[in-house]
Amino acid sequence: MRPLLQFEQVSAGYDRAVILDDVSFTLEEGHSVALLGRNGVGKSTLIGTIMGATRLHRGAIQFAGAPLHTIAPHRRAAAGLGWVAQERWVFPSLSVRENLTVAARRGPWTLQRIHALFPRLQERSANMGNQLSGGEQQMLAIARALMLQPRLLLLDEPLEGLAPVIVEQLTEAIGTMSRTGDLSLLLVEQHAHQALAMTRHAIVMDRGRIVHDGSSAELLADRGRLEAMIGLG
C-alpha cells in the first residue's frame, strides 16, 4: 500500500493558538485509522486541519502525493476528501433520495451500494431530511459523503448520542466500509472499543501530540494501556 495522507511535523490551530503540536503520521491507501483521546486533546482540530478549517503554523500535509495544505478548503472535497461532521448537516427540505443524489458523482459508490450498506435509507427514501431520527440522519450524512466518491472519509464521532441499536448498525456499516479496500477511513470516536474493532490502525492523542501510533488489535488487547491513555472507566 502507498501513503494517502501524510502529516509532517504539523502545528496548527486557530489564529495564534496552537492546538496541534508537531504532529506526524501516515495513513496508507485503503487503510482505516481510529483517532482516539480524551476530550479536548485536538482530535477534531486534526480533522479540521485536513479540511482546511484551521491555521497551519508549521509543517506540511500531503494527500495522494501532492501538497494538501495549498488547496483551498472548498476544493478539498473534489480532491478526494469526504467529511462527516458531528453536526451531520443533512438538507432538511430534501428527501433522502434527493440528499443522496443532489451532488453525487460517478464512481463505485452507487445508490444501490448505499442501500445495501444502509437498508433503512432505502426504506426512508421518500422521507424529508427533517423527518428522520438522529441515527437515520447520521446514516444519511455518511451515505451522502460516500456518494461524492471520496478516497478518504473523515468521520467525527459518528456514534455520539445515538441509541444502542443504531450504534450497532452504524458500527457494522463502518466496519464493512473499512474492509472494502477501496476507501480509506479516519475515525474520531469516544467509544474506543468500538472504534478499535472497526479499524486496522490506532492513533492516540494527548495535549495536541500523538502519544501512540500502532495496531488497533494490539491496543484493544492491552486494556491497561488503553485505559491509561484514554481514561476508560
Distance between CA atoms of residues 39 and 113, nearest Å: 34
Give pLDDT tens digits for 80-91. Answer: 999 998 888 899
Question: In which order are the strands placed within the sheet that holds 3-14?
Answer: 17-28, 3-14, 55-63, 66-67
Domain-wise residue ranges, the chain = 1-80+153-158+184-233
CATH T-level fold of 1-80+153-158+184-233: Rossmann fold (3.40.50)
Give pLDDT tens digits for 164-173. Answer: 999 999 999 9
Reading the block at residue 225, the C-alpha cell is 494501556
How would you label 65-85 residue by residue, b for 16+ Cβ within 10 Å and e otherwise?
Answer: eeebbebeeeebbeebbbbbb
The pLDDT of 195-222, averaged and rounded, is 94
pTM for the structure as a whole: 0.93
Residue 133 CA to chain centroid, in angstroms? 21
Give pLDDT tens digits for 11-60. Answer: 999 999 999 999 999 999 999 999 999 988 999 999 999 999 999 999 99
Q: What is the pLDDT of residue 181?
A: 77
